[in-house]
Homo-oligomer: A and B are copies of this chain.
C-alpha cells in the first residue's frame, strides 16, 4: 500500500510512523489515533488516484486540511490520512465578478488577506482562521461571528470540485448565482464532513470590504429587548449588523476573574451584555466629521439614545478608537480560554430560534443545577443567530453524570425546536446525539445516501452518522 501511494504522490509525500505524528491527533489532543499512512497529493488527479486505490482495497480514507475541528472529524485509526495542505493555490480572484477560485488547502486567513488587497473580503471569520483551511471550512460548513450578515460557509460557496468515494472527479465549479440543473450536490457535500467525498476546490463569493465599523457594548433589560434592538438596527442600517454577541453577567464575572487586566464593560453590573458591531461600505457613512465621529457611529449613537430614553437599553459604550474596539472583542474572544479553566466541563454548541435563547438559558440553568447541584455554566451566544455555547462546569469528574447532563440539556434544545449541533459539526463526538435526536426519516435518508454513494464505506468512516 505505502509503495502504491508513493507511486501516486511521490516518495516525499507519503508519511508513516513518526513522520506522521502531526496527523495522529486533533489539535486539542482530545482524540488520538494511528493512521496507516499520510499522503499529501499535489493536485486533484492524485487525490482521485488515492481514493480509487482506497476504494479498491476497501481501506478507510480520512481527508484532513487544517485539523482545527472540535468534534474529532479527522480521527483516522488505520486509515489513509489524505492531507490537502499542498493544494494551496488561489487559482483566481475576479474582483468585478466578486468571486475567488481556491483549492482546498488554502488557509482561510491567507485567502482573506489576498482578497482584502483588492478591496474585498471573504467574510468567513473565526478563531482558528490562521490554521483552518477552505476544505475543512466547507466540509464542516463552518460558522463564526458574522453569520448574521454573511451566512454560514455554505452561503458563501457557488461551486465545488470533489473526488467521490469511487475516485471519480465531480466538477461542479459553478460561478453562477442561478443554477437549477438537478439535485443540489454542492449543498450535499458541504457539511458532510468528508463522508461523501473529498472537496478539492471551490468557487467562493466575495463581498465589499467595510470602510468603517461602529462597535459598542450595550446593556439591555432582557434578551427580548435586545432582539427588538437588533431588528431595529437591521432596519436602520439595511442589514449591516455584523455581530450581535451576548454575554450574561456570569460570563463577565468569569472574564474578570480569569483574564488579567479585564475590565467591567459598564459602571454598574448588568445581566444582558451585548457586543454589537455594524459595518458600512459606503464612503458617506465612513468619513469622520469634525469631532472624528463617522456618520455610521453617530447614527448608531442616536438609536442607542432613543432606546435608552424608553428604558429598552440600560447603558451603552461606543468604541471611540480601534484599541477600544479590540478590547470589546477581546472580552468576547476570551470565551475558549475562560471555558478551559475548569477541569470538568462539557460544551454544548446548540442553536434555538432567535426568540427562544433566553428561555433555553433559563431552563438549562435550572436543569443543570438539578442534575449536578453546585455546577456552574459558562455561557456566550451568537444571539443574532440563536447559537449558544453553553459550557457546564461540573462539581466532579463523572462520566455517567456528564452523559445525564448531555441528555437533559438536549431535551430542552429539542423541546424548543433547536439543534444539538450548531456550528462545530458532528464528527465522532455527537454521533450519540444524532442517534437520539435526529428525525428518524432524515437519519434513514442520510444512511441511504451514504450507502448509495460510498457502498464500501471507505470515506471518513465512523463520522456523522450513528
Tell which of A51-59, A314-322, A352-360 binds the partner: A352-360
Query: Are A176 and B353 in contact (CB-based, < 8 A)?
Result: yes
Partner of A235, one of B227, B282, B355, B422: B282
Assess whether A60 is interfacial by the CB under 8 Å rule: no
Task: For A207, list chain B residues within 8 Å (CB).
Answer: 239
* Closest partner residue, chain B, to A437 (CB atom): B181
A257 vs B145: C-alpha distance when bound (angstroms): 54
Least Cβ–Cβ distance between A34 and chain B, in angstroms: 28
A444 vs B167: C-alpha distance when bound (angstroms): 13
Given known pairs A238-B239, A299-B284, A355-B94, the reply for A152 and B178 (CB within 8 Å) is yes
Assess whether A313 is interfacial by the CB under 8 Å rule: no
Assess whether A419 is interfacial by the CB under 8 Å rule: yes
Query: Are A170 and B441 in contact (CB-based, < 8 A)?
Result: yes
A94 vs B171: C-alpha distance when bound (angstroms): 40
Task: For A240, list chain B residues within 8 Å (CB).
Answer: 238
Query: Are A178 and B352 in contact (CB-based, < 8 A)?
Result: no
The residue among A96, A238, A433 with the most chain B CB atoms within 10 A of its own CB is A238
Least Cβ–Cβ distance between A185 and chain B, in angstroms: 6
The residue among A99, A418, A426, A442 with the most chain B CB atoms within 10 A of its own CB is A442
Given known pairs A96-B228, A354-B177, the reply for A168 and B441 (CB within 8 Å) is yes
Partner of A96, one of B355, B440, B452: B355
Given known pairs A176-B351, A176-B352, A184-B154, the reply for A282 and B237 (CB within 8 Å) is yes
A164 vs B196: C-alpha distance when bound (angstroms): 21
Least Cβ–Cβ distance between A459 and chain B, in angstroms: 13
Tell which of A14-22, A83-91, A109-117, A187-195 binds the partner: A187-195
Partner of A438, one of B97, B182, B190, B238: B182
* Closest partner residue, chain B, to A299 (CB atom): B284
Query: Are B179 and A421 in contact (CB-based, < 8 A)?
Result: yes
* Closest partner residue, chain B, to A207 (CB atom): B239
Task: For A42, list chain B residues within 8 Å (CB).
Answer: none
Task: For A227, list chain B residues within 8 Å (CB).
Answer: 96
Interface readout for A369-388 with B: 1 if CB under 8 Å, 0 if not?
00000000000001011110
Given known pairs A449-B453, A453-B448, the reply for A183 and B177 (CB within 8 Å) is no
Instruction: Count contacts on A: residues with CB < 8 A to the other chain.
Output: 98
Assess whether A333 is interfacial by the CB under 8 Å rule: no
Assess whether A420 is interfacial by the CB under 8 Å rule: yes
Least Cβ–Cβ distance between A411 and chain B, in angstroms: 16
Assess whether A180 is interfacial by the CB under 8 Å rule: yes
* Closest partner residue, chain B, to A228 (CB atom): B96
Partner of A191, one of B184, B425, B437: B184
A234 vs B178: C-alpha distance when bound (angstroms): 19
Assess whether A93 is interfacial by the CB under 8 Å rule: no
Assess whether A281 is interfacial by the CB under 8 Å rule: yes
The A420-457 residues at the B interface (CB cut-off 8 A) are 420-426, 430, 433-434, 437-446, 448-449, 451-453
A420 vs B192: C-alpha distance when bound (angstroms): 27
Least Cβ–Cβ distance between A177 and chain B, in angstroms: 4
Assess whether A98 is interfacial by the CB under 8 Å rule: yes
Partner of A177, one of B147, B178, B224, B445: B147
Assess whether A36 is interfacial by the CB under 8 Å rule: no
Query: Are A421 and B180 in contact (CB-based, < 8 A)?
Result: yes
* Closest partner residue, chain B, to A177 (CB atom): B385
Task: For A97, list chain B residues within 8 Å (CB).
Answer: 353-355
Given known pairs A98-B231, A228-B96, the reply for A178 and B386 (CB within 8 Å) is yes
16 A–B pairs (Cβ distance < 8 Å), ordered by A: A94-B355, A96-B228, A97-B354, A164-B441, A177-B386, A179-B419, A180-B422, A183-B192, A183-B196, A183-B449, A183-B464, A185-B446, A208-B239, A235-B282, A239-B239, A445-B453
Residues of A within 8 A of B (CB): 94, 96-99, 140-141, 143, 147-148, 152, 154-155, 164, 168-185, 187-188, 190-192, 196, 207-208, 224, 227-228, 231, 234-240, 280-285, 299, 351-355, 382, 384-387, 417-426, 430, 433-434, 437-446, 448-449, 451-453, 464-465
Task: List the 8 closest A-B pairs by CB distance, nearest first.
Answer: A187-B187, A452-B452, A170-B441, A178-B422, A177-B385, A175-B353, A179-B419, A168-B441
